[in-house]
Amino acid sequence: MRALSQEPGEVDLAERYAYPAGTTWLRANMVASLDGAAQRDERSGGLGNAADRHLFLLLRGLADVVIVGAGTVRSEGYGPVKRSEGWDGVRDGRTPVPPIAVVSRTLDLDFDAPIFTEAQVPTIVLATATADPVRLKAARERADVIIAGKDSLDFSVAVQELAARGHRRLLCEGGPGVLAQVVAAGLLDELCLTLSPVLLGGRPVRILNGPPVPVPPEMALADALQDEEFLFLRYTRNR
């Protein structure tokens, strides 16, 4: 066991969190309390600080697409991605902002909401072939729809289709149900985890909300940063 080394001064986060070149890479960004809660007052945003928010926005800038579940869109009040400070140079040669890809089996979405009507780059909807035809028609009028799976969403197909559209640097913001499916499918390459210095108790949702993972991926610690009492951990999958 050894102490983490303290580097003097600020680190270059854009360099530290740069995606590997020449490959499709799926990164997740999550936050949790010390006792494993992924939400506070039913929102993940209640656990972070200013540095966590800064990193959240930077990771969006580095990504080609942001994947998020429909439940998180509703509970967190998601709108379209907007350009942020600190993005200078990180999106050269790409669209001004990454699109959001909403995971929704039932298509229970408000297609008149800003996430669809005010997006600089068309929002993507990841749906199934058995979705309600009326809802599917409404989705296609407002979004770029990708059919990935028949009765349930096949995340392997979704990732392949996104990569075929040029979205190879993927960022998953959850929620915990979506992330559990991504991990179960063996698709998670990297986990960025903000550890919030609070103890909440109760029976909270964890960052993975699903059945036990059949083959748990082994992760290697790639980075550990600190701001105030918060830890910012980055793990990559052992291959």
Who has greater pLDDT, 84 or 8? 84
**Band (46; pLDDT cuts 50, 70, 90):** confident
**Band (45; pLDDT cuts 50, 70, 90):** low
43 pLDDT above the threshold of 70? no
- pTM of the full structure: 0.95
9 pLDDT above the threshold of 90? no
Residue 33 CA to residue 197 CA, distance in Å, equals: 6
Residue 56 CA to residue 62 CA, distance in Å, equals: 10
β-pairing, 219-227 vs 230-237, is antiparallel
CATH homologous superfamily of 23-237 equals Dihydrofolate Reductase, subunit A (3.40.430.10)
The pLDDT of residue 86 is 83
Sequence ranges of the domains in the chain: 23-237
163 pLDDT above the threshold of 80? yes
Who has greater pLDDT, 74 or 2? 74
Per-residue buried b or exposed e for 194-233, using 16+ beta carbons within 10 Å of the residue's own CB: bbbeeebeeebbbbbbeeeeeeebebeeeeebeeeebbbb
116 pLDDT above the threshold of 90? yes
Who has greater pLDDT, 1 or 73? 73
The pLDDT of residue 147 is 97
